[in-house]
Amino acid sequence: MQAIQPTPPPLKEDEFGVFRVGDTRVSLESVVVAFDNGASAEEIVDSFPSLDLATVYATLAFVLSNRGTIDEYLSRRREQVEQMRAAAEHRFPSQGLRQRLLSRRRSSSP
């Protein structure tokens, strides 16, 4: 009799520390947010055609079995995204952007 081997979760961490689902660029966050918003596995596949149903079900099973760890990861990711947004806003402030663009438009018009 052949032993049943557990399948590892279909997640891969990229060079930026973001977990991707299967062999795709779809982030774990995207799948979890869709699921938490009520999407079924089939609806998630419809939203992300690069995913297949088996991969989504395996991902959701892993998420449900490790919800605390997943929530911690998502919280860290939200903090990282907020830090990147703040750094970008500091580097390229949006205040006065409309005026700068209009001024640039006027100066380039014949």
Instruction: Indicate whether 6 belongs to any domain.
Output: no
CB contact at 8 A, 29 and 40: no
Q: Is residue 5 part of a domain?
A: no
pLDDT digits over 58-92, tens only? 999 999 999 999 999 999 999 999 999 898 888 88
pLDDT band at 37; cut points 50, 70, 90: very high
How much is the pTM? 0.77
Among 50, 46, 44, smallest CA distance to 29 is for 44
Is residue 2 domain-resident? no
Ranges of H-type helices in the chain: 28-36, 41-47, 53-65, 67-91, 97-108
Domain assignment present for 85: yes
C-alpha span between 24 and 5 (Å, rounded): 24
4 in any annotated domain? no
Tally the domains of the chain: 1
Residue 1, in any domain of the structure? no
CATH number at residue 62: 1.10.10.10
Q: For 2-30, how does the pLDDT look when each residue is reduced to its tens digit (9 = 90+)?
A: 888 888 999 999 999 999 999 999 999 99
Residue 28 lies in a domain: yes
Residue type, 56: V
For residue 86, tell me if it sits in a domain.
Answer: yes
Domain residue limits at 57: 11-108
**CA–CA gap between residue 72 and residue 69 (Å, rounded):** 5
